[in-house]
Structure 1
Amino acid sequence: MTASTTPLHLAGTGTALPGDPVGNAELSTAFGISEEWIDLFVGTRTRHFGWDLATGKVTHTLTDLCAESAARALAAAGLGPAELDFLVLATATPDSLLPTTANETADRLGLNHLPTYQIQAGCSGAVQALDVARALLAAGHRTGLVVAGDVTDRFLEAGRDATALATQELVNYVLFGDGAGAAVVTADPHDGAVAVRALLHRFTGQGRPPGQVVGWHGAVPPRPDRQMLHEDYRTIEEEVPALAGEIVWELLHTAGWRPQDVDHLLPPQLSGHMTERIVAGLGLPPTTREVSCVRDTGNTGNALPLLQLDRLLTRLAPGERAVSVVVESSKWIKAGLALERPGTRTEGQPNR
């Protein structure tokens, strides 16, 4: 359901990306994948990994990244951990099944005696977490923390000749990167906070095969012929642009906005090239400014919407509006946000 969410405000955001950016040439050397193919197929320049490409040694856990981004969000909001009433974390790649990454992150931040939640989700997880936060604020809490992120160290094999993989598995070696993002949410509008005017979170996958599968195994070893990561990239290319358009129009309808009212667009971030195609097909005015990060960060899964929001908050002027569009392709979820920074436009800003 699309819901009006006036009580939900973003008071501060923060992000964390591990290590130095990894360029396509370095990725090509590590996995034997053509640098030209990466450029042509994906259109992503760099990404970050929380593990060493040569040895597979983990340098940053998801908890590391979540705690770092959360600390930055708190600093941006001018708040301390003691002022939080809850924490909600979304990921597809937790550090362990138990204890949850949400609780490990809370411990790292020095939090105690507050409710914590962990959502198992794909790219829409950050919006799902904001939806849970909205409900918690409506129930009487005043301030909370939403965190989302993913890491790849358990799914991409260091030193592997990836050229021997099926295309559905090979694509994951060039699409993804590691990272986390966080947002401090409040029921009351703090000075400079951005208001969420509409929030969309709707499962639309009944009877539809998944576009992405991330495998899991416990005590039983995985079958040699089983792909731990499977990406139906062709289906995603066909389905995501139409779903993105539906999300935009549903958010505009709920917020009571016209297309010309949107100053900034945060489009889905599967890859650089797909983002270009999606933006071109949405039909928003050419004056709408795109806020993207995937060409520099790779697809960081749950972190992406918050990475975009972190960039948006430095650009969104008083009176300006933005639409964030998120498509979850593993089992098809439409998600998104309509955002506004309250205030009066300054002279020289375009009129709606």
Structure 2
Amino acid sequence: MTNPAARGAVADVGLAGVGSALPGDPVDNTALGKRLGIAPEWIEAFIGTRTRYFCLDLGDGTPRWSLEDLCADAADRALADAGANADDVAFIVLATATPDALMPTTAALVADRLGIDGVPVYQLQSGCSGAVQAMALASSLLAAADRGSRPVGLVVGGDVCSKHLDLRQDFRELPPAELVNYVLFGDGAGAVVLSRAPGAARALLKRAEHRISGLGRAPGQRLEWFGRADRHSDRPAVSEDYKAVETQVPLMAQETLNALCDTLGWPAHTLGQVLPPQLSGRMTERITRGLRQGLEWEEVSCVAETGNNGNALAFLQLERLLPRLSARGRAVGIAIESSKWIKAGFAVEATP
């Protein structure tokens, strides 16, 4: 992250509101273990995620919520938190790896649900780094906007991973590499309102940056899109190289943290909070230990309670961060996407 042109937006815009949406009741390891025929203790020991949320009914696999539902709810709550309404929104940027359909975009459907019309609407297709990509794009759009235009940008991220998981199969026959996806992931959405209106900010988004870091390297994760012609393929819907993830993500997380602090001129000991990558309860614990290096910042995590819900995670973490941010507080968030190895990070500072 040494090339300034690759670093993304120098944001320094206001974080005016945040909201989230999780479907239904939490599914604990006992309920999930019973459904899958595996020991709850195995889930806790190897994954470390205690609960997660699913858009489908765990019993029969019937969908109960869509990504559109979750994103619209999260966005509505973020606007309410910011004291803003549909007429204030200059644009929407939505990030997801699991859209409800290829067309129309989930972003356009969310705009319609919120009563927003006549503004640009963008949808970014990416994994968990997409939330940071969306904040970087939104901060650039706000910085370039005419001063007389609408004052806020709405940034949304979410994923419904459960629709890629088949609950009708015999889980006793499933290889461990595929079975782990049923306990690792969850569904959810989050949103933030970015504003350049004076006095509107609860905190400042100082920076949001991302770059690909996988030249010549095999992807660490693949999520298939199955159409009518290939939906009966033997390819698994979700596949991950967990050994590569365990090896590479901690290193990339440290590189991202160092690069953000260097760019901003923030000594690591001045950080009050760090929002580490949210892969799983166990993996996040391991990454956090590596990042800490004797420093006393507070970890802000959610994955052990929400599951890995992709593009929702950064916003769920921000929702937990903002009430904890002290008067002179500084925080750094990190998202590492293993699909083609993308480093992403953002920095938040308390308003003066």
Q: Unmatched 5+ residue regions in structure 1?
A: 344-352
2:326 is aligned with 1:320: no
2:346 alignment counterpart? 337
Quick check: 1:13–1:310 contact (8 Å CA) kept in 2? yes
2:54 alignment counterpart? 49
Residue 118 of structure 2 aligns to which amino acid in structure 1? Answer: H
Deviation at 1:3, TM superposition (A): 4.8
Quick check: 1:259–1:284 contact (8 Å CA) kept in 2? no
Normalising by structure 2, we get a TM-score of: 0.94
Deviation at 1:231, TM superposition (A): 1.5
CA distance, structure 1, for counterparts of residue 233 and residue 173 of structure 2: 14
User: Aligned to 1:86, what secondary structure does the other structure show?
Assistant: strand
1:22 alignment counterpart? 27
Mapping for residues 266-345 of structure 1, pairs under 5 Å: 266-343=275-352
CA distance, structure 2, for counterparts of residue 115 and residue 198 of structure 1: 22
Identity %: 51
1:346 alignment counterpart? none
Residue 271 of structure 1 aligns to which amino acid in structure 2? Answer: S
Quick check: 1:8–1:188 contact (8 Å CA) kept in 2? no
Normalising by structure 1, we get a TM-score of: 0.94
Over the residues paired in the alignment, what is the CA RMSD in angstroms? 1.4
Match of 2:250 among 224, 238, 241: 241
Deviations 1:58-95 (A, max 9, x none): 11110000000001100110111110000000001101
2:263 is aligned with 1:230: no
Mapping for residues 139-288 of structure 1, pairs under 5 Å: 139-140=144-145, 142-288=151-297
1:120 alignment counterpart? 125
1:350 alignment counterpart? none
CA distance, structure 2, for counterparts of residue 29 and residue 269 of structure 1: 25
CA distance, structure 1, for counterparts of residue 57 and residue 9 of structure 2: 44
User: Aligned to 1:306, what secondary structure does the other structure show?
Assistant: helix
TM superposition outliers: structure 1 runs of 4+ over 4 Å: none
2:129 is aligned with 1:130: no
Quick check: 1:88–1:117 contact (8 Å CA) kept in 2? yes
CA distance, structure 2, for counterparts of residue 189 and residue 240 of structure 1: 38
Residue 299 of structure 1 aligns to which amino acid in structure 2? Answer: N
Deviation at 1:143, TM superposition (A): 1.2
1:59 alignment counterpart? 64
Quick check: 1:7–1:138 contact (8 Å CA) kept in 2? no
2:42 is aligned with 1:37: yes
CA distance, structure 2, for counterparts of residue 284 and residue 118 of structure 1: 37
Deviation at 1:4, TM superposition (A): 6.0
Residue 323 of structure 1 aligns to which amino acid in structure 2? Answer: V
Q: Unmatched 5+ residue regions in structure 2?
A: 1-5
Residue 331 of structure 1 aligns to which amino acid in structure 2? Answer: K
CA distance, structure 2, for counterparts of residue 193 and residue 4 of structure 1: 20
Change (3 A) 1:4 1:133: closer
Residue 272 of structure 2 aligns to which amino acid in structure 1? Answer: D
User: Aligned to 1:324, what secondary structure does the other structure show?
Assistant: strand
